[in-house]
Amino acid sequence: MRDIPSDVFRQILSLLPAELLLQLRCVCKAWRNTVDDPTFINLHLHRQIHASSNGVGQLILRGELDSRLYALPLESLNNSDVSKEIIRNMPLIHNPFEGFGLMKLEVGSCNGIMLISHSNGHNFLWNLLTREFRKLPPPKITIKKSTGLYLSVRGLGYDCVADDYNVVKIAQVFDPRNRILKSETLVYSLKFDSWRKIKDLPYRISRLGGGILLNGALHWISTTKPFKSMDNLIIGLDLGSEDYRVLLLPVALPGPKKPSATHLGVLDGCLILSCYYQIERLDVWLMKDYGVRNSWIKLFSVSRLDNIGAVETLRPISYSKCKRWVLLQHDKKEFFWFDVEINICKKIRVHCPPTTFSSHFCVPSLVRLNVGGGDGGCSKARKQARDKGKILFEVELL
């Protein structure tokens, strides 16, 4: 191994799965230093993200009755005939959050880091592969909930300019009597372990859920006028400039029969919009060129089928490796592959799944949480975090 140039050796290691690299870092000190190097972590992460567009990664399933966690590798869904394969899911044995109350729905993931919420108000950033997590200080919201209809949304993203991971919390109160909207936006910085207030969002967010991360911005469905319930645009918060972007919905959407609900997502690096028409059908639109309204195309449409039933709980998750199939979750109970060429669905049989579950796509990564921003060596930030007691858990995997 000593005869291999260091640059070539790093390139070879960067092609390996993150799980295997955690084991190889225990071989010797030199390998450990390579795997822990921030430049190598970024190189490996870049290749992991590229591989995720080809059906590589994993789904994290959370049982809604007991909050147990399961890992479902997407590779196992792609390896054989989707109509015959039985997938065996594996419980995630390590769950460091059992003592913090009932785990709520994961509200976002970015570069292998997940944002976890609990019923008692605690929030965490967690790398489930390296087993590091960081408890977030509580944000200080100044607007009063009692003055109207209260809505709060969050999202997790990465600011590549500042090399920092951010959690965004937007709180809004709308008073329907005088049609006044009060909004407040806070951003948490992992590097500085603190919240700060930024420019308020001038639009009313009309859907709960985590912000959808794409092109350095978090996105939510919104409406131009606070007193209207009609969704007519998408708002993106650029994490680098902290300015708001406005993305228009497909031109074909306005009409006599509007969607009863809409949902944002990402497929193969493109923004998608799921439009639900009661129990009749689901239309999925894809924005080929980010920010260009005329680039919206209808990717596929799913009508009510015998093997699916009602379509209002379908959620597109990922492409297959061949890009012909789209993975759909249905009714928090099951998964389907949908063939976008011939419009047929095939059910995926999962052995002993949770009774009901939520799922979230996650790319395993080596990104560190105990140094801030994934820079791998900010000793001052690390010391400050330790002094504040914010680094709750750090494990050396064998």
Note down pLDDT in tens along the chain; length 398 residues.
566 777 888 888 888 888 899 888 888 888 888 899 989 999 999 888 877 766 667 888 887 777 777 888 877 776 545 444 556 656 565 667 666 656 665 667 899 899 988 767 788 899 988 888 899 999 998 988 777 788 889 999 999 889 899 999 999 998 878 888 889 999 999 999 999 999 999 888 877 778 999 999 999 998 876 655 566 789 999 999 999 999 999 988 866 678 888 899 998 889 999 998 877 789 999 999 999 999 999 999 988 776 677 788 889 988 887 788 888 988 888 888 888 888 888 888 777 777 888 888 888 899 988 754 333 333 333 334 334 333 333 333 32
Helix (H, G, I), strand (E, B) or coil at 204: strand
Q: Which residues contact 147 (CB under 8 A, 6 or more apart)?
A: 173, 175, 182
Predicted confidence at residue 151, as pLDDT, reads 87
Residue 368, amino acid: R
Q: Which of 164, 124, 159, 140 is nearest to 381 (CA)?
A: 164
Distances (CA, A) of 195 to 137, 186, 189, 339: 8, 6, 6, 44
Q: Which residues contact 306 (CB under 8 A, 6 or more apart)?
A: none
Q: Measured between alpha carbons, how far is 2 from 6 in angstroms, rounded to an integer?
A: 9
- Please give the model's pTM, rounded to 2 decimal places: 0.84
Helix (H, G, I), strand (E, B) or coil at 109: strand
First to last CA, the chain: 22
Q: Are 198 and 166 contacting, i.e. CB atoms less than 8 angstroms apart?
A: no
Residue 218, amino acid: L
**CA-based torsion, 356, 260, 235, 266: positive or negative:** positive
State the pairing for strand pair 108-110/334-339: unpaired
User: HSE-up of 193 (CA within 13 Å, CB side)?
Assistant: 22
Which H or E run contains 182?
Answer: strand 180-189
